[in-house]
DNA sequence: GTCATCATGTAAACCGTTACATGATTGT
DNA sequence: ACAATCATGTAACGGTTTACATGATGAC
């Protein structure tokens, strides 16, 4: 019962959308969940093997010679629902940008401004990605579309907040230089 | 030259504010950097020992029998400045809340709403903490105050964005129930 | 035929948390 | 005396990334 890792949730979840190979799971996680989740190769394959041994997923090789697609079993779908209902393990915060700015006096206003500009640019890029994903989901709605848009919206809000903060902070830092 | 871990930055940074013991470093990180950084015991003590061996910090036991305070050496201050100037290692995103909501169809609108309400409550608590820290910094300004307020502002922006998102998403999810 | 991409896996290294263990100091 | 807190460390474990290794498939 002591599930610590969320990898299982991500893998089962990916397969709940549609059956796919381990390689495709990794791609799906990188591309679709990329803005709020990440998994590496080294996690996905062992997890898939374990899930298969436990009967939560099953190979579904419909006439392939190499590679196989996996799909959720009924037990796997129940497992996913159960995992989703468990309390969310909180990941400790680790924000390298803020860590640097907190000790900004050791760095000076100009170097700090550069750090902030980089954060702003990341937020801009993120906002563009969000817009693209939103357009794609709205153009081609899946049965999950409403939920996906909730996560996209979270990304949009976060990115816009970061933009506003960056703008404000650049002003503050500029005042420190004078 | 291959510094991967940011623990060293956090520890040197804490000591740059004022000399203190390892125990106090851990407290300072938990209390002051807590909203954007975390370190555990098991990291701090070995890091301090290594930094001492490398000559970046030095014990400064002014008449103590047990425990010792550490302070930065000149080399340590340079080391901190150098580390702060290095590119920020990006931590892969891991947002358990969004991971759940993305697969929300497996969970249903009501359970998702509960997840969102928990996120909203965390944001509210965070906003209260930010306000308290801001008040404290403004009441008793340190030479680092301007930089600290930049990080507090980041927390405030992020928390307010999360509140707005939660509000919006609760409406969306309520519409799914009908 | 060769290149890009699909596909699967393992091993080592690294990072970080947790639990355990121990003892000093200070306030009541 | 006793409790709370200060203080320091280590060992084991678990999770994650990275690098390495290998080969099939399909497009050109």
DSSP β-ladder status, B57-59 and B70-72: antiparallel
Kindly give the confidence (pLDDT) of every residue in chain A, 178 residues in length, as a single tens digit, with 9 standing for 90 and above: 345 789 999 999 999 999 999 999 999 999 999 999 999 999 999 999 999 999 999 998 654 555 689 999 999 999 999 999 999 999 999 999 999 999 999 999 999 999 999 999 999 999 999 999 999 999 988 999 999 999 999 999 999 999 999 999 999 999 998 7
Q: Rounded to 5 degrees, what are φ and ψ at B139?
A: -70, -40
Question: What pTM does this model have?
Answer: 0.94
Chain B window 124-163: residues with CB closer than 7 Å to nucleic chain D are none
Q: CA–CA separation, A88 vs A100, rounded Å?
A: 28
Tokens of A125: 């890029």
The verdict on a CB contact (< 8 Å) between A93 and B37 is yes
Between A35, A91, A101, which is nearest B150 by CB?
A101
Q: How far apart are CA B8 and CA B78, in angstroms?
A: 13
Q: Which helix (H) or strand (E) holds A113?
A: helix A109-139
Check whether residue B92 has its CB closer than 7 Å to nucleic acid strand D: yes
Q: What crossing angle do the helices spanning A74-85 and A7-17 adopt, rounded to 10°?
A: 130
Rounded-to-integer distance, Cα B16 and Cα B81, Å:
10
The closest alpha carbon to B124, from B161, B172, B89, belongs to: B161
Stated as kind and residue range, the H or E segment containing B142 is none
- The alpha carbon dihedral of B48, B49, B54, B55 has a sign of positive
Compute the 3-state secondary structure of chain A and give helix, strand, coil in percent, each to the nearest 5: 65, 5, 30
Instruction: Write down how long chain B is.
Output: 178
């Amino acid at each position: 019962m002591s599930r610590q890792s969320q990898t299982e949730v991500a893998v089962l979840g990916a397969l709940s959308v549609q059956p796919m190979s381990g390689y495709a799971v990794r791609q799906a996680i990188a591309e679709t969940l990329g803005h709020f989740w990440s998994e590496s190769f080294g996690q996905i394959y062992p997890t898939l093997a374990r899930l298969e041994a436990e009967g939560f997923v099953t190979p579904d090789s419909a006439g392939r010679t190499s590679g196989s697609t996996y799909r959720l079993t009924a037990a796997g779908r129940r497992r996913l629902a159960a995992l989703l209902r468990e309390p969310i393990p909180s990941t400790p915060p680790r924000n390298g940008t803020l860590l640097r700015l907190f000790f900004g006096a050791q760095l000076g206003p100009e170097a700090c401004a550069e750090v902030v500009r980089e954060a702003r640019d990341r937020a801009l890029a993120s906002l563009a990605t969000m817009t693209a994903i939103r357009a794609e989901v709205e153009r081609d709605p899946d049965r999950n579309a409403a939920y996906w848009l909730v996560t996209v919206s979270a990304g949009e809000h976060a990115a816009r907040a970061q933009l506003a903060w960056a703008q404000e902070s650049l002003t503050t830092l500029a005042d420190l230089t004078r």
